[in-house]
Amino acid sequence: MLKRLPKPAVKRLPLNTKGKDVIVGDIHGMFDLVLRAMEKMNFDQSCDRLISVGDMIDRGPGSHRTAKFLSCSFVEAVLGNHEGMLLEAYQNGDAHPGVLEFLHSRNGFSWWRDTPDELRSDILDALWKLPLALEIETDRGMVGVVHADVPRGMRWQAFTAALEAGDAGVAEVALWGRDRIHRLDETGVQGIGRVYVGHTPLRRVAKLGNVVALDSGAVFGLGREEGALTALAIATGTMEIKTVSTMMRPDDFVFAGPVGDTPDAAFSFESVGMRHG
């Protein structure tokens, strides 16, 4: 468990008056799928915002791109449990080799062993700046984003207050909770219009009350006929949803690894020869 929580624990975003907000499910290193989703959504980097529900790292081939992704002016994100595990390993200084080996064997951290020290530092610095929750003003009212869940029965305002007060138990649910989805609890979260979560892989977008679960298991479909990255745009009166298939061979990926990657390249359509939205 993280002994200290990121600050600010909750980040509040004003209404985007110039463009749209697009929320993507768990990325897990599949950043070329993010770019393809952006293209499908006609994403405009000059005015749209791209919002991640966390778990940008591990398992997929492009996890080392996370710091560059988070440095983009149009990107907002919350901390996921996989980012939390990495921060926990380093919260007292250098990580114990045994801890890293455990993370490698159980949670897809093999990419970390091949990541240069300077890039490791950039990634850790970027992750410590991520909040546990986002509160976003939209033209349909306030919406929230958290990686896993809000404790069942807790109002949104009580949830954010607890995170800001450093409540470790509530933070644990925010990063790891699956109770709502496992119970198919449709009571929702009071005090906010809608809450977007990831964390639990599902075959399709699920709506439980006002809670929308977006993790469609992108990384688990690598090279198979299952799994996709879900992108959802909030628009007046409707929710536009797009999915991007993961039916690609590992060597087809734009960001297949540090050797074939340019660490200082911009995370943009132009960097991979795709058109700008």
Mean per-residue pLDDT of the chain: 80
Lowest mean pLDDT among 18-32, 43-57, 88-102, 184-198: 88-102
Give the range among 10-24, 31-45, 67-81, 100-114 with minimum mean pLDDT.
100-114
Flag whether pLDDT at 202 surpasses 80: no
- Residue 271 in any domain: the answer is no
CATH code (residue 190): 3.60.21.10
Question: What range does the domain containing 27 cover?
Answer: 19-260
Domain membership of residue 9 (yes or no) is no
Would 37 be classed as within a structural domain?
yes
DSSP 177-232: --HHHHTT-----TTSSEEEE-SS--SS-EEETTEEE----TGGGTTSS--EEEEE
The share of the chain scoring above pLDDT 90, in percent, equals: 46
Instruction: Check: CB of residue 211 under 8 Å from CB of residue 193.
Output: no
- In this prediction, residue 220 carries a pLDDT of 46
Q: What is the pLDDT of residue 193?
A: 92
In a domain, 144, yes or no: yes
**Model pLDDT, residue 256:** 34
Q: Give how many domains the chain has, as a whole number.
A: 1
Q: What is the pLDDT of residue 107?
A: 66
How confident is the model over 39-44, as a mean pLDDT? 86
- Element (H or E) spanning 94, and its range? none
Q: Cβ(170)–Cβ(164) under 8 Å?
A: no
Tokens of 17: 């008056």
The confidence score (pLDDT) of residue 223 equals 41
| pTM recorded for the entire structure | 0.84
Distance CA 40, CA 161 (A): 37
pLDDT of 161 above 90:
yes
The residue with tokens 């995370």 is 267
Domain membership flag for residue 24: yes
**What pLDDT sits at residue 216?**
66
pLDDT value of residue 32:
80
Tell me if 240 sits within 8 A of 40, measured CB to CB: no
Q: What is the pLDDT of residues 45-90, one digit of tens each?
A: 999 999 999 999 987 778 888 999 999 999 999 999 999 999 998 8
- Report the Cα 20 to chain-centroid distance in Å: 18
Q: Which of 14-18, 26-30, 37-41, 226-230 has the highest mean pLDDT?
A: 14-18
- The yes-or-no verdict on residue 165 having pLDDT over 70 is yes
**Percent of the chain scoring above 70 in pLDDT:** 78
Element (H, E) at 135: strand 133-138
pLDDT of 196 > 80? The answer is yes
Average pLDDT over residues 8-15: 97
Note whether residue 226 is domain-resident: yes
